[in-house]
Structure 1
Amino acid sequence: MKTVLCFGDSLTWGYNAEGPSRHAYEDRWPSVLQAALGDGVKVIAEGLNGRTTAFDDHLAGEDRNGARILPTLLGTHAPLDLIIIMLGSNDMKPWIHGNPIAAKQGMARLVRIVQGHPYPLEAEAPEILLVSPPSVSRTEDADFAEMFAGGDKASRELAGQYVALADELGCGFFDAGSVAETTPLDGVHLDAENTRRVGEAIAPVARVMLELK
């Protein structure tokens, strides 16, 4: 049995701008990935609304700093064969930093945590797939427009930053923006069709990285 950990934010959690609500379990991209990979693989979804790569945001009851919680999750779910990290959208908030270079540095911190973690029972570090999220888009929702002011331009640079980082640190890379786009309802999240597209598109990449037939 192969084990895959999907580490992300509200896009992985399944936030649905309609309502707002949460997408049905079968529509969330980790669930779609699980269905595509089959019974020989266990896909674990670890998504949290508002999660950043490696920066503090104290506006919620949960710890949103990905770098702080990741070591605990690596130990909790070990042994792992693959970790898929899709983060960076929340880094685009102006009060976080709103800078794609900083998001790249945050992602680098996460990769080094995965590669250097002291796994239980001397398990090996898993393969890593970095996924750049679909770009933030313009929206008529005034709150989200202000919350992600400037994010539409900044987030378009994430794919280029992440692919360079993946090459540098020996990770896989996938651009979710190549198959999905954010909903104009809030400019940040995915509707059911687009979140399914992400899971469907990641599946063949994960299959290769897991060396599945």
Structure 2
Amino acid sequence: MATILCYGDSLTWGSVPNGGRYPKHLRWPSVLNTLLGSQHQVINFGLPGRTTIWNDPFLEGRNGLAYLQAALETFGPVDLLIIMLGTNDLKRHFNVGAYEAAKGVEKLIQKSRMPSDHGFPSPNLLVIAPPNILSPKGAMSESFSGATEKSQYFHQHYQDITSQNQCLFLNSAGVLQPSDVDGVHLDTQGNEQLAKAIFELISDKISF
């Protein structure tokens, strides 16, 4: 049995565009678990607003780097760590772009490979470049002002980081786009498309 930890933000948590949370069976980690089979455990550890390495002045506990080690210990040993973070890094008040988000992911990769006090082996890693942000609407429009253009560079910079650090890589923008409702979050089809793309990538490697 493989333990797969999905470490992400609201796109992993299961936010419905413009408010609410999808039922568990519609969130992509659950869809992935169904595709892989019940002999494997896919853990959804998404949190709305989570960043790669930034402390958000408006939301507590969203620094992804600060909580990664605790997550790996809580759910460990983890066979596969799936990281999909960076969308929230593009919020206007952080004033950074896709390059800085990718460097933040690199810090997460390095943290996940540090020796474990419990003797857990380092997890295999899959890094997912977040989907391109469409024109943000509704509550998203102010927070993500200027993020649409920045998000176009996720693919390039994340691919560079994963190549340098020998991780599996998936460009989610190649398989889905966010909902038209708010331009940021996934609809049910997007959740399904992402789960299927991950399954195709890892299914022949899952006997970790």
Backbone CA RMSD of aligned residues: 1.4
The answer for the alignment partner of 1:108 in structure 2 is: 106
Give the aligned residue type for 2:76: A
Q: 1:197 aligns with which of 186, 193, 197?
A: 193
Distance 1:117 1:199 in 2: 30
Correspondences of 1:81-160 after superposition (within 5 Å): 81-120=79-118, 122-141=119-138, 143-160=139-156
- 1:132 touches 1:177 (CA, 8 Å); kept in 2? yes
Give how far 1:200 is off: 1.3
Deviations 1:86-139 (A, max 9, x none): 00100011212331111011000000000114251x121010000011111114
- 1:74 touches 1:119 (CA, 8 Å); kept in 2? no
Correspondences of 1:1-213 after superposition (within 5 Å): 1-17=1-17, 20-60=19-59, 62-120=60-118, 122-141=119-138, 143-211=139-207
| TM-score normalised to structure 1 length | 0.93
Give how far 1:183 is off: 1.3
Distance 1:30 1:17 in 2: 17
Unaligned runs of 5+ in 2: none
- 1:98 touches 1:150 (CA, 8 Å); kept in 2? no
Determine helix, strand or coil for the equivalent of 1:21.
Answer: coil
Deviating above 6 A after TM superposition, structure 1's stretches of 4 or more consecutive aligned residues are none
Give the aligned residue type for 1:98: V
Give the aligned residue type for 1:209: K
- 1:127 touches 1:209 (CA, 8 Å); kept in 2? no
Unaligned runs of 5+ in 1: none
Give how far 1:184 is off: 2.0
Give how far 1:211 is off: 3.6
State, as a whole percentage, how many aligned pairs show the same letter. Answer: 34
| TM-score normalised to structure 2 length | 0.95
Count of residues in correspondence between the two structures: 208
